[in-house]
Structure 1
């Protein structure tokens, strides 16, 4: 076999990975990883599509944690799509392009759909995902639960978090002036 070819180093697009692995790796409260029966552990580490669940099995009040991405850099991306588990493919592809421009990938963020957590407070969400940076798309800062509001693309530091909100990914995708404002905010957030 060629040295450059390996089953452990196959590059897949982010949208293809999301479609191939709608269910993914879970983490229990003791940190022991368990995988869905049809998926092997090494493949999940390489793909970056990780769904975390840290709620104890007997505790019924905790939410069933659902996220997309590896959360390696404690960046929480919040979207709000009532008809999707995470977000539509087109929105995911656009988000992936924006992250790539910032030298980030899906492995670096946790994408959470606010519609999955209507009854969960923002502090509980941010603590669970160990957030440091919070990017809100289609969700205002106060709509997420923060005790403040800001204009689109304004970077706000609050209680140890860096927060920015913008229109929905769908609205941004084809709006060049809005994408330029978003890029300006990203340069400030990620020191680009």
Structure 2
């Protein structure tokens, strides 16, 4: 058979998205150490006997609760009741502003507070943020012991914070929107030493 696509290897996160609800992790396969084989759950009938060399474990696929890879430990907390992570137009705006800061989605972890009402202590433990940007989320909502005005930088422990209004106020071309964008940009320039 002639395959015009060749051998294409997909990244792990794409495979997880394809088979989010139908994965079975098979451990202890004879072969190199630390290997795992992933198979679709429908490929093996429920009454199949598994040889002692192969042990079947049905592990839940972990739900990724943030968007991005958090490579530079920058947490962006948004509040969007209409989306899992955030609306497409908000993501486009954030991608543009991150690009202007010489960052990308791989550098950050975008968390939707509407779907993940975690506390700052949880963020510290799981994402170790160096920078924390809150859009339309008050510091009290994540149990921080301080308040701050919009666009002011605040250091707390090893994390620098920036509080901003909703991303919805950053969309459009009115004078008020331009003012919000410029205030955000000035704060981000200070935060990332641009």
Same fold per superposition (TM over 0.5): yes
Match of 2:77 in 1: 78
- How far off is 1:169 after superposition? 1.0
Against the structure 1 CA distance between its residues 166 and 37, is the aligned structure 2 distance closer, same or farther, given a 3 Å change threshold?
A: farther
Against the structure 1 CA distance between its residues 82 and 21, is the aligned structure 2 distance closer, same or farther, given a 3 Å change threshold?
A: farther
Match of 1:123 among 99, 121, 124: 121
The unaligned stretches of length 5 or more in structure 2 are 1-7, 21-33, 41-58
Return the alpha-carbon distance in structure 2 between the equivalents of residues 172 and 124 of structure 1: 28
The unaligned stretches of length 5 or more in structure 1 are 1-6, 9-19, 27-31, 39-56
Return the alpha-carbon distance in structure 2 between the equivalents of residues 94 and 110 of structure 1: 15
Equivalenced residues, count: 147
Against the structure 1 CA distance between its residues 191 and 122, is the aligned structure 2 distance closer, same or farther, given a 3 Å change threshold?
A: same
- How far off is 1:22 after superposition? 9.3
CA contact (8 A) 1:157 1:163 kept: yes
Give runs of aligned pairs for residues 2-41 of structure 1, distance below 5 A: 23=17
CA contact (8 A) 1:122 1:146 kept: yes
The residue matched to 2:17 in structure 1 has which SS?
coil
Against the structure 1 CA distance between its residues 96 and 21, is the aligned structure 2 distance closer, same or farther, given a 3 Å change threshold?
A: farther
Which structure has greater strand proportion? Answer: 2
Return the alpha-carbon distance in structure 2 between the equivalents of residues 33 and 90 of structure 1: 40
Which structure has greater helix proportion? Answer: 1
